[in-house]
């Protein structure tokens, strides 16, 4: 130390001496300390762990690492106290502690606390405890003399908790990631009482099935004792059990504790009155779903369970109240987490929903643009699936979709994204694969599907697959999906189905003309006749001797029927003034209130002068009356162009659960609107009260 203090005046001989000291003494000791630390953690024997903790406390103290030394002294003392508690005979207990140098451990702990925190700590010696017949276990009494911040510092490193200073810090760290929030809250509660294990879990009251929602230790799946959970239900604030405390209410139920457990806090979670009104409002929408899927509020009880196998803990009334204080926040995050899971999983196939897939694909492309990754996108369509539904019924069709979903999921890695993209259409992202590797996996999927045998369906099930590669084929989501879809179209319509096709530039050139006819000439006689009838009616309507408003009303009814929409809104554009909105709902002869419209979609169609179809994921105002889920809308927007000017738009929408607009709908709608708009002026300058029209912009 003296050499280091005068390092500015070091001579060559001093430097050689310092180097030799480090090489022959300090460095080997540090290596020895680290090795001993690892050995202590792996040791099976409590006696070996005790010896290692005592030596580590001694050596770290010699090196001036006071915090580490205090930590190992606490571990050693905890080891002695826990084992001595099982010895009922007073004399045997005395000799057990004496042989393991309990007083020496306490003395080093006391002196190091004085060095670290400048506080003199008194403790009960072994002779005093034996003579006065009092408990030698005064670890909590020693540590309670410290400030809370000092107390937490002693064990935070040993437990490895994420640093959260206080409740305000916890709230500042919460995000819209509910699972992370639950992990943080549990981490905060565990840190507060120095728990060695902890869970947020549910227990189904019908079959006692457990589900761990969050855990202090990753991979910890050892269930708490059921009688502790059951006993906690009998108190409005749960239960606190602690061998370390003398108060009657905190030493109740000691017999419930496992032999190696010192303390437990267990709290069943209930809704507080402050959130009851919000819960009741949502209850009607979510109650059925929650019960159906092992509810967190219905048949399942939610618990916070904290446990310590160490006498160094703060399992007290304050800790219990802190858990109760955060119960409503925990329940809110569990409920939101569950509701999100309901919206990301397609119930029929067990795959991801299209909305969630689109969100993940956006994030993936954003990340890959930064870090130069690559992936393969697969678009998959079941060949002639309509025949299966028509021949064997929709229940059999649903069964087939479920089996195909399982096959898709088992054919790729668990890290890949697999989603149901439409009725019988699926989409997959294969992470970090080349185009060649993607093709091999796609072929594996195609073969696996072709080998499926579904009882009651006496026909082969096959799929067609289109591939596009990021970033080779495109760095933009819509373009990449479009190209995978072009490859899928080629596999189905050009190569005769049950094929895998990789996108190439020739497909872009060859499919544009063919796509113009998709939806108009389908090969289905009934469908083609209906389409032809719609074209003839539109042409006749233009020639009809009626005023423009009557013609518009009839045309909107016609396009609603032809394209199977729910709402159709005519938007008549007026330069320098508000647009005019006229809305019909199917099977109604009257104008109705205009539903919420997506302005971003409208502006894009006006700018591009091209019709498009979308899914409006942003509109969550309308809830399904049965499931309580948002009724996401499939949207088709058709521009009404005369000359080169967009005079108006037709905005069609239908619940996604009922129908998704497609290229076929776009082509037929485009043909009908072109005939209608070319022969009718939409210019109209009459004033319209927007509130009366009921227009709501998204």
pLDDT digits (tens, 9 = 90+) for 111-142: 988 888 888 878 889 998 888 888 887 766 66
Average pLDDT over residues 481-490: 92
Measured between alpha carbons, how far is 213 from 265 in angstroms, rounded to an integer? Answer: 17
pLDDT(444) > 90: yes
pLDDT at 510: 52
Q: Are 180 and 189 in contact (CB under 8 A)?
A: no
Domains, in order of start, for the chain: 11-158 (no CATH), 160-343 (3.30.450.40), 349-517 (3.30.70.270), 525-697 (3.30.450.40)
Three-state SS at 325: helix
Alpha helices for 544-608 (secondary structure H): 548-563, 599-608
Query: Per-residue confidence at 237, pLDDT binned at 50, 70, 90?
Result: confident
**How many residues are given for the chain?**
698
Helix (H) or strand (E) holding 546: none
pLDDT at 462: 96
Q: Are 635 and 641 in contact (CB under 8 A)?
A: no
Measured between alpha carbons, how far is 646 from 100 in angstroms, rounded to an integer? Answer: 91
Tell how strand 263-268 and strand 300-308 pair up: antiparallel
Extract the tokens encoding 264: 């437990």
Q: Each residue of 514-542: pLDDT tens digit?
A: 455 555 666 667 778 888 888 888 888 87
Q: Are 457 and 472 in contact (CB under 8 A)?
A: no
Measured between alpha carbons, how far is 623 from 615 in angstroms, rounded to an integer? Answer: 16
Between 116-120, 183-187, 302-306, the lowest mean confidence (pLDDT) is in 116-120
pLDDT at 274: 35
Q: What is the largest CA-CA distance in the chain?
A: 116
The set of residues, in sequence order, having a beta carbon less than 8 Å from that of 275 and lying 6+ positions away, is: 328, 331, 332
Q: Which of 156, 162, 165, 148 is nearest to 68 (CA)?
A: 156
Crossing angle between the packed helical segments 46-62 and 102-117, to the nearest 10 degrees: 40
Measured between alpha carbons, how far is 249 from 252 in angstroms, rounded to an integer? Answer: 5
pLDDT(273) > 90: no
Query: Per-residue confidence at 34, pLDDT binned at 50, 70, 90?
Result: low
Average pLDDT over residues 19-41: 55
pLDDT at 526: 79
Q: Which of 486, 491, 526 is nearest to 506 (CA)?
A: 486
Q: Each residue of 194-236: pLDDT tens digit?
A: 898 999 998 887 777 788 899 998 777 777 888 898 888 888 7
Query: Per-residue confidence at 481, pLDDT binned at 50, 70, 90?
Result: very high
Q: Please identify which residue in the block is written with the tokens 């596009």.
A: 468
pLDDT at 438: 95
The set of residues, in sequence order, having a beta carbon less than 8 Å from that of 487 and lying 6+ positions away, is: 379, 465, 466, 467, 468, 501, 502, 503, 507
Q: Are 476 and 482 in contact (CB under 8 A)?
A: no
Three-state SS at 466: strand
pLDDT at 174: 85
Q: Which of 664, 585, 603 is nearest to 422 (CA)?
A: 664
Query: Per-residue confidence at 40, pLDDT binned at 50, 70, 90?
Result: low
Extract the tokens encoding 224: 């708490």
pLDDT at 7: 44
Q: Please identify which residue in the block is written with the tokens 């042989």.
A: 99
pTM value is 0.47
Tell how strand 239-242 and strand 263-268 pair up: antiparallel
The set of residues, in sequence order, having a beta carbon less than 8 Å from that of 47 and lying 6+ positions away, is: none
Q: Each residue of 334-354: pLDDT tens digit?
A: 888 877 776 788 888 989 988
pLDDT(696) > 60: no
Q: Which of 56, 88, 82 is nearest to 70 (CA)?
A: 56
State the Cα torsion 273-274-278-280 to the nearest 10°. 10
Query: Per-residue confidence at 366, pLDDT binned at 50, 70, 90?
Result: confident
Query: Per-residue confidence at 692, pLDDT binned at 50, 70, 90?
Result: very low
Extract the tokens encoding 217: 């230790």
Measured between alpha carbons, how far is 683 from 674 in angstroms, rounded to an integer? Answer: 16
Query: Is the N-terminal amide bond of 437 cis, ω within 30° of 0?
Result: no
Q: Please identify which residue in the block is written with the tokens 């300058």.
A: 685
Full DSSP string of 162-208 = ----SHHHHHHH--S-HHHHHHHHHHHHHHHHT-SEEEEEEEETTT-
Measured between alpha carbons, how far is 429 from 436 in angstroms, rounded to an integer? Answer: 14
Extract the tokens encoding 37: 């630390």
State the average pLDDT for the chain. Answer: 80
Q: Please identify which residue in the block is written with the tokens 């179809």.
A: 613
Q: Which of 327, 351, 664 is nearest to 516 (CA)?
A: 664
pLDDT(461) > 90: yes
pLDDT at 531: 85
Q: Tell me the chain's radius of gyration from C-alpha atoms.
A: 36
Q: Which residue has the higher pLDDT, 204 or 639?
A: 639
pLDDT(296) > 50: no
pLDDT at 351: 92
Average pLDDT over residues 437-442: 95
Measured between alpha carbons, how far is 648 from 654 in angstroms, rounded to an integer? Answer: 20
Strands (E), 231-277: 239-242, 263-268
Q: Each residue of 543-562: pLDDT tens digit?
A: 777 777 788 888 999 999 99
The set of residues, in sequence order, having a beta carbon less than 8 Å from that of 101 and lying 6+ positions away, is: 54
Helix (H) or strand (E) holding 344: helix 327-344
Q: Each residue of 396-422: pLDDT tens digit?
A: 999 999 999 999 999 999 889 999 998
The Cα-based distances of 181 to 121, 184, 357 in angstroms read: 38, 5, 23
Average pLDDT over residues 70-78: 85
Sheet holding 612-616, edge to edge: 580-585, 567-572, 645-655, 633-642, 612-616
Average pLDDT over residues 1-21: 48
Measured between alpha carbons, how far is 223 from 237 in angstroms, rounded to an integer? Answer: 21
Torsion 595-599-600-604 (CA) sign:
positive
Tell how strand 596-597 and strand 696-697 pair up: parallel
Range among 121-135, 344-358, 370-384, 433-447 with highest mean pLDDT value: 433-447
Q: What angle do CA 225, 226, 231 make, to 5 degrees?
A: 105
pLDDT at 5: 44
Return the number of other C-beta atoms located less than 10 Å from residue 590's C-beta.
8
Q: Which of 452, 325, 342 is nearest to 401 (CA)?
A: 452
Query: Per-residue confidence at 287, pLDDT binned at 50, 70, 90?
Result: very low
Extract the tokens encoding 8: 């500015």
pLDDT at 570: 92
Q: What angle do CA 547, 549, 551 make, to 5 degrees?
A: 70
């Amino acid at each position: 130390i003296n050499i280091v203090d005068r390092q500015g005046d070091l001579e060559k001989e001093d430097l050689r001496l310092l180097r030799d000291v480090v090489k022959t003494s300090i460095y080997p000791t540090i290596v020895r300390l680290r090795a001993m630390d690892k050995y202590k953690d792996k040791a099976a024997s409590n006696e070996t762990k005790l010896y290692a903790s005592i030596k580590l406390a001694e050596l770290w103290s010699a090196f001036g690492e006071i915090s580490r030394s205090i930590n190992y002294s606490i571990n050693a003392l905890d080891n002695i106290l826990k084992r001595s508690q099982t010895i009922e005979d007073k004399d045997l207990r005395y000799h057990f502690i004496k042989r393991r140098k309990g007083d020496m451990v306490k003395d080093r702990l006391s002196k190091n606390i004085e060095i670290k925190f400048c506080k003199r700590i008194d403790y009960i010696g072994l002779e005093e405890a034996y003579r006065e017949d009092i408990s030698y276990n005064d670890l909590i009494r020693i540590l309670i003399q410290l400030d809370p911040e000092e107390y937490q510092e002693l064990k935070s490193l040993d437990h490895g908790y994420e640093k959260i200073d206080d409740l305000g810090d916890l709230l500042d760290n919460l995000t819209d990631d509910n699972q992370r929030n639950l992990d943080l809250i549990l981490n905060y509660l565990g840190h507060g009482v120095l728990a060695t294990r902890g869970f947020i879990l549910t227990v189904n009251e019908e079959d006692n099935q457990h589900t761990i929602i969050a855990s202090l230790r990753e991979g910890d799946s050892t269930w708490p004792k059921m009688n502790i959970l059951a006993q906690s239900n009998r108190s409005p604030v749960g239960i606190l059990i602690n061998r370390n405390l003398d108060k009657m209410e905190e030493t109740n139920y000691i017999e419930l504790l496992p032999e190696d457990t010192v303390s437990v806090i267990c709290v069943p979670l209930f809704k507080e009155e402050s959130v009851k009104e919000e819960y009741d409002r949502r209850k009607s929408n979510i109650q059925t779903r929650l019960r159906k899927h092992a509810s967190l509020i219905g048949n399942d009880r939610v618990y916070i369970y904290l446990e310590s196998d160490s006498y160094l803990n703060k399992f007290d009334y304050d800790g219990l109240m802190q858990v109760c204080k955060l119960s409503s926040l925990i329940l809110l995050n569990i409920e939101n987490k569950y509701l999100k899971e309901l919206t990301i999983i397609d119930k029929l196939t067990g795959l991801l929903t299209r909305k969630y897939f689109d969100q993940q694909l956006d994030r993936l492309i954003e990340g890959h643009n930064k870090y130069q990754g690559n992936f393969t996108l697969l678009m998959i369509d079941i060949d002639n699936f309509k025949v299966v539904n028509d021949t064997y019924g929709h229940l059999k069709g649903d069964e087939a979709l479920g089996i195909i979903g399982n096959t898709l999921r088992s054919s790729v890695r668990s890290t890949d994204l697999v989603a149901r993209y439409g009725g019988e259409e699926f989409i997959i992202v294969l992470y970090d694969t080349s185009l060649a590797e993607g093709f091999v996996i796609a072929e594996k999927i195609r073969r696996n599907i072709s080998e499926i045998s579904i009882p009651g369906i006496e026909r082969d099930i096959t799929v067609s697959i289109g591939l596009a590669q990021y970033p080779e084929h495109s760095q933009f989501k819509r373009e990449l999906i479009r190209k995978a879809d072009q490859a899928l179209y080629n596999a189905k319509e050009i190569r005769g189905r049950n094929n895998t096709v990789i996108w190439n530039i020739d497909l872009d050139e060859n499919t544009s003309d063919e796509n113009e006819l998709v939806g108009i000439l389908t090969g289905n006689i009934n469908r083609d006749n209906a389409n032809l009838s719609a074209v003839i009616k539109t042409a006749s309507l233009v020639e009809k001797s009626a005023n423009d408003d009557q013609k518009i009303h009839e045309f909107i009814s016609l396009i609603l029927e032809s394209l199977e929409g729910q709402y159709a809104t005519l938007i008549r554009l007026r330069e320098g003034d508000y647009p005019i909105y006229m809305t019909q709902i199917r099977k109604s002869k009257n104008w109705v209130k205009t539903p919420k419209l997506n302005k971003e979609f409208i502006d894009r169609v006006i700018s591009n002068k091209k019709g498009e179809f979308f899914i409006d994921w942003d509109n969550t105002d309308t809830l399904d009356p049965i499931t309580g889920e948002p009724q996401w809308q499939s949207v088709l927007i058709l521009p009404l162009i005369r000359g080169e000017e967009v005079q108006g738009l037709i905005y069609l929408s239908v619940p996604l659960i009922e129908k998704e607009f497609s290229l076929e709908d776009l082509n037929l709608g485009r043909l009908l609107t072109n005939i209608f708009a070319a022969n009718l002026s939409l210019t109209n300058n009459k004033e319209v009260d927007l509130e009366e029209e009921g227009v709501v912009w998204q």
